[in-house]
Structure formats: structure tokens, C-alpha cells
């Protein structure tokens, strides 16, 4: 949560007979001074693209075939791995799933019996690339492939990779798909991170060209595995355009695909802007954030592909209500009002809101109506039955977690670090997003077969949600402390361990890295059924979106951050297409 309400203490007056009269002080409604949305309705309704026409689809089909031909013609291992990696980075994986699987099956089977062949050739770049690409696609590959990095004493042999920055970059990216127990890669990551930071210092700039410097800065800011693929796609196109070994047809396809996807996303956003306007909450809940477009960008980050329209529509509505309800608990409601509101959500009963202020009644009624609409949309889209009880429960859990934080604030309670986390992973909204995502993309047959999947895989839900919470805290904690809001993970850790904010932030970043390693073990080593591979990708993207949202502060509270530039670039500015 971004801020916590402050409850006024009752006033006691002492009478002449030494008795006391207690006066309840009216609850002071707070304000975070959120600015109105910079994205006006008329502007959103005007968004239009020509790239949904048949002529572009036909051109795309031709380019797709050209790229498929490259798969057939490519025999060199490194060239094939780079092709597969470029396809993923350029946002084209859904067009070549069969080609990629066939090629990686061949690579995995061919080299399984000769794991160390790359190291024996001193080809650390190829080793790193192969390890990362195979593991990201769910293939079993051991860190032992890197044993050649170690000297006789089990210490990393630094001379192997210190001379070539591009080799170091590839090994750094590979280290981020490591598991918690893979110490060879953790040691390599620590050494390379320090070396690369030194390489972009003023002393060494003269020895590095501008393009390579950009690549280093980009990798150190957020590693590729932690980035939202679609948010990064334009940057990757520019990088691929600089590659001397690029395939022009692949680059042309990437640009055309970007524009056609953007056309679909604009249509989605136009429809959602009508829904938001008709809902009318902006005028009635003027204390809350009006962030339709930012909410839509979150949904795009989870699943940009055109076929996930239902998911994007659902998640945009969910994120909108997460923000509004968060502000109800943070800014508007008294503790007594929040208890009533929580009971209303828990019992899913409009009558429970009778004693509440009008704006809180309106909020619950809108949530009630929208959740029914979402459940109906999901059932109509994929045939899943009995979705509503699951949606109701996860909303109730979310509100109960927000109420706990409001009670801590009311009592002036500083929770222990673990006490904070045990509640904050739920209030992060991670479980809400994952449950809605699961039902939005899972067919009735799969859902029946995988009943209880999220309950059985609570560790995955917890770890994804924990990253959402910790990234949020890193991005918003400073502003919250300034306002005197309730504690974040950073403040709880500082208080409990008696350390500085810098040390606490370093600890939280370390927790994020370790949590990713646990997620990698679950998602990249075949522990999740292949029938749910699409859900796994969306779950990973939930964590990645959190990195993006809070990298430069609070993307929801402020609209002048990098997020605004990103929205313009991805939703409103098409690429120039090369003409033949």
C-alpha cells in the first residue's frame, strides 16, 4: 500500500469531580493529492491504426515463412541459438513455437552426452547462451556446464571472461536463470556485475564504444530474465538492427508485428475507456487514483498477444479496483468503516454497506457488479464454471490484508519483518492477479483437470506476490516515510535489525534475487505441467511488471515518470516500416 490512514485519537476532558468525558473526534479524511489522469477520454477514443488490415496480415505471413526458411537453412549451433533468442526478444515467439521446440529438442538431445564440449573449446559465450536459452524454454540443463570456469581450488577463473565484455554480458544474463543452489553462477554473477560496473566508469569509457556501453547499462539496470518482454521490444529492435549478423526479414517482421499488435491494443483500450467512463467512478471517488491507461499497461505486460483480449480486459478492471480499494483503506475510511467494508466483501452482501458513506457504498457496488461481469466473461470465453466463488474469496483475502495494515497503523504497531511479509504478500495484490489470470486463460477441461492448482502451488503464488510487494516497497518507501505512512518492508527491517536504509534496501534487493531463484526452480525445470505453460509465462510476467512499475518510483501515483514515455511508445507511436 502506498499510504496509511491516520485515525484521530479521542479527546478526554477532566471534570471538576475528577471524572472524564470522552469526545470522539470525527475521522479525518486524508488526501494523497493524486493528479487527474493525463489520458483524456476523447484522446483514447481517437486512437486508431491502419495496421489491422488484411494487406499487413498477408505481408506478415510472407515474412513468417521467410524466417521459417532460416530455421531450415541454419546448421551452426550458435547461429540457431541466437535466432531463437532474437525471436523471443523481438516478441515473435508465438509465431514460431513449433520451429523453436523442434530446434531445441535437437540441440538438447545432441549435446546431452557431451555437456562440457563448449568449455573445452573455451567458448564461454556459446556455453552461456546455450544454458540460458535451453533453461528459459524449460529444458533440463545443469550448471555443471560451467565447471570449466573454476580453478583447482573451486574459485572462479576470472581470466576466462575478463577480456570480452560481450561474453561477460551473456554470462551475466545466464546467471539470472540460476537456481538457489547453483553457486558457480552466483559467484560469476557477483564478479561480472562488479567488473561491468567498473567498465562503464569514466576511466574506462574510452575503451568501450557507445553501443556496447548502452548494452552494459541496460543489462545492469534490469536483467533480461526480469524484464517484461513487450516493454523492452523496441529497445531490442534497435539493438538487433546494430547486429552485423541480423536477418533483415526477421527485423521487418518484428516491426510489422509490433504495429499490428499495437492496433489490437488500441482497440482494446478504446473499449475499456468506454467501460471506465460509463462506470463513472472518477467523479464519485475523487480521492482515489484514476489510472485506467496505467492499469491497461499492466495487463499488456502480462500478456500482449492479440489472443489474450479477454485476459487484458479482465486484468485492467481488476487493477483499477485494486488501486481504488487500496485508496479507500489508505486514505478515506475510518477503522470502523473499513471493518464494515471488509465484511461486505467477505460476505459479498450489499446490505453490509448500509452504514457506510456513499462513496464506499458506490465502490463496493461497482466491485460487486464488475466481478460478476468478469466471471461471466471468463465462463463465456473458455467454458470455466463456478468462477465467481474463487473471485469473491480472493477479493475478500485482499481486503482482510489491507484491514490488518490499517489496524497496525491505528494502534501504532511496528510489525516484525516476518510479520509484515506474512500479510504483505497478500496485500500486494499478487494472488488477485494470478487467480484472475489463471481462470482467464485456462479452458474448462484444463481447469477441471488442474483443480486446486494454485492451492497446491502456493509457493509459486507466494514468491511471485513477494516480488510484487518488495519491488513496490523499494519504489515507494521513501515517499511513504516522508508522509508518515505505515511501515514498509524496508522500515520494518531497519527497525528490527537496527541498520541504515541503504543496508535495508540492499537486503531487500538480495531477497528479490533469491526469490527469483526459487521461482526459476519451479518454472524453468519442468515442475509445472506443460498444459499450463501459458499461465507460467503470465505468472513470471506478473513479477516482471512489478520491476518495471517501480524501477523509477511510483508509476501509479505519479504520471511524469518513465512509465508515461513507455505508454506513448508502446500504445500510441507506431514504427516506421521499410518499404520494398
Confidence of residue 23 (pLDDT cuts 50, 70, 90): very low
Q: Which residue has the higher pLDDT, 122 or 348?
A: 348
521 occurs within a structural domain? yes
In a domain, residue 37? The reply is no
On whether both 426 and 329 belong to a single domain, the answer is yes
Residue 63 lies in a domain: no
Three-class DSSP category at 507: helix
Domain with residue 446: its CATH number is 1.10.600.10
Q: With respect to residue 244, please indicate whether it lies within any of the assigned structural domains.
A: no
Helices 417-427, 489-497: axis angle to 10 degrees equals 170
Q: How many other CB atoms are there within 10 angstroms of residue 141's CB atom?
A: 20
Same domain as 139, residue 280: no
The mean pLDDT of 429-443, rounded to a whole number, is 92
Average pLDDT over all residues of the chain:
87
What's the pLDDT score for residue 560? 64
Residue/partner pairs of 204-209 with CB below 8 Å, 24 or more apart? 208/165
Give yes or no: residues 259 and 198 share one domain: no
Q: Which three cell numbers stand for residue 187?
A: 559467484
Q: What are the residues facing 23 on neighbouring strands?
A: 11
The pTM score is 0.91
- Give pLDDT, residue 149: 67
* Whole-angstrom distance, CA of residue 504 vs CA of residue 494: 6
pLDDT number for residue 409: 87
279, 398: one domain = yes
Give the Cα separation of 393 and 396 in Å (integer): 5
Query: Looking at the structure, do residues 140 and 282 belong to the same domain, yes or no?
Result: no
Residue range 275-297: average pLDDT? 94
Q: Using the predicted structure, report yes or no on whether residue 559 has a pLDDT greater than 90.
A: no
CA dist 579 and 427 (Å) reads: 50
Report which of 266, 262, 232 is spatially closest to residue 574, judged by C-alpha positions.
262
Number of domains in the chain: 2
Both 494 and 539 in one domain: the answer is: yes
Residue 25: predicted pLDDT? 46
Q: How far is CA 280 from the centre of its chain?
A: 28
Distances (CA, A) of 319 to 242, 289, 303: 37, 11, 14
> Among 162, 86, 76, 69, which Cα is nearest to 124's?
162
Residue 138: domain span = 68-226
Amino acid at each position: 500500500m502506498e499510504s496509511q490512514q491516520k485515525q484521530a485519537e479521542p479527546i478526554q476532558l477532566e471534570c471538576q469531580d475528577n471524572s472524564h468525558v470522552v469526545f470522539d473526534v470525527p475521522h479525518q479524511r486524508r488526501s494523497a493529492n493524486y493528479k487527474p489522469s493525463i489520458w483524456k477520454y476523447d484522446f483514447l477514443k481517437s486512437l486508431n491504426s491502419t495496421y489491422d488490415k488484411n494487406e499487413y496480415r498477408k505481408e506478415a505471413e510472407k515474412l513468417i515463412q521467410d524466417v521459417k526458411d532460416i530455421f531450415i537453412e541454419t546448421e551452426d549451433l550458435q547461429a540457431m541459438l541466437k535466432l531463437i533468442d532474437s525471436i523471443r526478444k523481438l516478441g515473435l515467439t508465438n509465431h514460431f513455437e513449433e520451429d523453436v521446440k523442434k530446434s531445441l529438442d535437437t540441440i538438447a538431445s545432441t549435446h546431452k552426452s557431451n555437456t562440457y564440449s563448449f568449455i573445452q573449446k573455451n567458448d564461454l559465450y556459446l556455453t552461456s547462451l546455450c544454458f540460458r536459452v535451453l533453461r528459459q524454454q524449460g529444458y533440463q540443463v545443469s550448471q555443471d556446464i560451467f565447471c570449466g570456469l573454476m580453478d583447482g581450488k573451486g574459485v572462479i577463473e576470472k581470466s576466462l571472461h575478463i577480456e570480452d565484455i560481450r561474453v561477460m554480458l551473456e554470462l551475466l544474463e545466464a546467471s539470472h536463470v540460476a537456481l538457489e543452489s547453483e553457486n558457480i553462477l552466483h559467484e560469476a554473477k557477483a564478479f561480472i556485475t562488479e567488473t561491468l560496473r567498473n567498465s562503464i566508469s569514466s576511466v574506462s569509457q574510452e575503451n568501450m564504444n557507445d553501443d556496447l556501453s548502452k548494452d552494459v547499462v541496460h543489462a545492469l539496470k534490469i536483467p533480461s530474465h526480469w524484464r517484461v518482454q513487450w516493454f523492452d521490444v523496441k529497445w531490442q529492435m534497435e539493438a538487433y538492427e546494430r547486429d552485423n549478423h541480423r536477418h533483415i526479414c526477421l527485423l521487418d517482421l518484428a516491426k510489422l508485428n509490433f504495429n499490428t499488435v499495437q492496433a489490437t491494443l488500441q482497440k482494446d483500450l478504446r473499449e475499456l475507456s468506454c467501460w471506465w467512463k460509463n462506470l463513472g467512478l472518477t467523479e464519485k471517488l475523487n480521492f482515489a487514483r484514476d489510472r485506467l491507461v496505467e492499469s491497461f499497461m499492466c495487463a499488456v505486460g502480462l500478456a500482449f498477444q492479440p489472443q489474450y483480449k479477454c485476459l487484458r480486459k479482465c486484468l485492467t478492471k481488476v487493477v483499477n479496483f485494486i488501486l481504488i480499494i487500496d485508496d479507500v483503506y489508505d486514505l478515506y475510511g475510518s477503522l470502523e468503516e473499513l471493518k464494515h467494508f471488509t465484511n461486505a466483501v467477505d460476505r459479498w452482501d450489499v446490505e453490509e454497506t448500509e452504514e457506510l458513506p456513499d462513496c464506499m457504498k458506490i465502490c463496493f457496488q461497482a466491485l460487486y457488479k464488475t466481478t460478476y461481469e468478469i466471471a461471466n466473461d471468463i465462463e463465456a470465453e473458455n467454458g470455466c464454471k463456478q468462477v465467481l466463488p474463487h473471485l469473491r474469496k480472493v477479493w475478500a483475502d485482499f481486503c482482510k490484508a489491507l484491514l490488518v495494515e490499517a489496524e497496525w497503523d491505528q494502534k501504532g504497531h511496528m510489525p516484525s519483518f516476518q510479520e509484515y511479509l506474512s500479510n504483505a504478500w497478500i496485500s500486494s495484490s499478487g494472488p488477485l492477479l494470478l487467480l484472475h489470470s489463471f481462470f482467464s486463460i485456462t479452458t474448462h477441461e484444463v481447469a477441471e483437470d488442474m483443480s486446486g492448482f494454485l492451492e497446491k502451488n502456493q509457493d509459486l503464488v507466494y514468491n511471485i506476490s513477494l516480488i510484487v510487494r518488495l519491488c513496490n516497497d523499494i519504489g515507494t518507501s521513501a515517499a511513504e516515510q516522508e508522509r508518515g505512512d505505515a511501515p514498509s518492508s524496508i522500515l520494518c527491517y531497519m527497525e528490527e535489525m537496527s541498520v541504515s536504509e541503504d543496508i535495508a534496501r540492499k537486503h531487500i534487493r538480495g531477497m528479490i534475487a533469491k526469490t527469483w531463484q526459487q521461482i526459476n526452480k519451479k518454472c524453468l525445470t519442468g515442475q509445472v505441467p506443460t498444459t499450463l505453460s501459458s499461465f507460467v509465462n503470465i505468472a513470471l510476467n506478473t513479477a516482471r511488471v512489478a520491476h518495471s512499475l517501480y524501477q523509477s518510483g511510483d508509476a501509479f501515483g505519479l504520471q511524469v515518470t518513465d512509465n508515461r514515455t513507455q505508454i506513448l511508445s508502446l500504445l500510441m507511436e507506431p514504427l516506421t516500416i521499410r518499404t520494398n
